[in-house]
Amino acid sequence: MSPLRAAGPKEWALLGVLAATWGTAFAFISFALDAAPPGALAFARLALAAIMLTVWAYAIGEKLPGFKDKRWLWFIALGLFGNALPFTLIPWGQQFIPSAVAGILLAFMPLMTVAMAHVFTDEKMTKITTLGFGVGFAGVVVLIGPAALGGLVAGDFVAQLAVLGAALSFAMNVVIARRAPPMHPLVSAAGMLVLAAVWTAPYGLLDLIHHARPNAAGWAAALWLAIGPTALGSVIYMRLVTTAGAGFLSTTNYIVPVVALGAGLVLGEAIGLSAPLGLVIILVGIVIARRGQRAASRSGQT
């Protein structure tokens, strides 16, 4: 039985919560930027989430590994690529582009994961997955617009490249996570966030000291980013991977950018026709690539 068919009401409910928290995170980032610049926001979000998950882990009898444990080497990489880099690049980019556009650009992440896996693992791209990657890339070009073709270095173009850099970082994190040693999901999430907070501390603390602003709504949004998309999202993610499988969890790739687009429209962001059109093309690319992956998996079975 496939993971998707095995998923019950609880798994679907958790998937809905995960998609809602991740999809609306871009809108909350827009509010949080009124209180703190990108570096400060990334550090505050990651540090608070790390504290919460570490306390939670110890409360249920789980402990972080000793400092000499080699798992910390994995936490260093996972914290950098899965949290520190993208959580800094995304809010930096959102200073110049709408939250909906940021969410749609990140939809390209699963296609980047396919390409990264082709380079660093034995999961090679087939003709169909390559076609899916090409279609998805065309969607990104449509979304970004003429600047992508003309090579212009306008502020919004660089911001969109920063968000694409975050998508690439997330993709690299998926490849690293596949090779990480098995451990309790809460321990791996807590360890990853602890190291992510360490990565962002040098510039994040400086930003907090010199550039933080007393904006109540902004700090409330930052607090929710730590509790919801970061801490709670990490735990739900790890749970669904182990109970329903990665195939079921990948459904979020279709839901999150749609939620981000809807949240942006609710906020009254100026979103042109290129945003929904680019989203549709990217999602079509994901569908094609996933079919290629499933076909390759079936042909590889004995």
In DSSP notation, the chain reads --HHHH--HHHHHHHHHHHHHHHHHHHHHHHHTTTS-HHHHHHHHHHHHHHHHHHHHHHTT--PPPTTSTHHHHHHHHHIIIIIHHHHHHHHHHTTS-HHHHHHHGGGHHHHHHHHHHHHSS----HHHHHHHHHHHHHHHHHH-HHHHHT---HHHHHHHHHHHHHHHHHHHHHHHHHSPP--HHHHHHHHHHHHHHHHHHHHHHHHHHH----HHHHHHHHHHIIIIIIIHHHHHHHHHHHT-HHHHTTHHHHHHHHHHHHHHHTT----THHHHHHHHHHHHHHHHHHHHHHHHHHH--
pLDDT score recorded for residue 4: 38
Residue 151's contacts (CB-CB under 8 Å, 6 or more residues apart) are none
pLDDT score recorded for residue 152: 47
Instruction: Count Cα neighbours of 195 within 13 Å in the Cβ-side half-sphere.
Output: 21
pLDDT score recorded for residue 247: 62
pLDDT score recorded for residue 1: 34
Model-level pTM?
0.83
Going from N- to C-terminal start, the domains of the chain cover 3-300
pLDDT score recorded for residue 166: 92
Mark the ranges of the chain whose per-residue pLDDT is less than 70: 1-7, 122, 146-155, 241-242, 244-249, 293-302
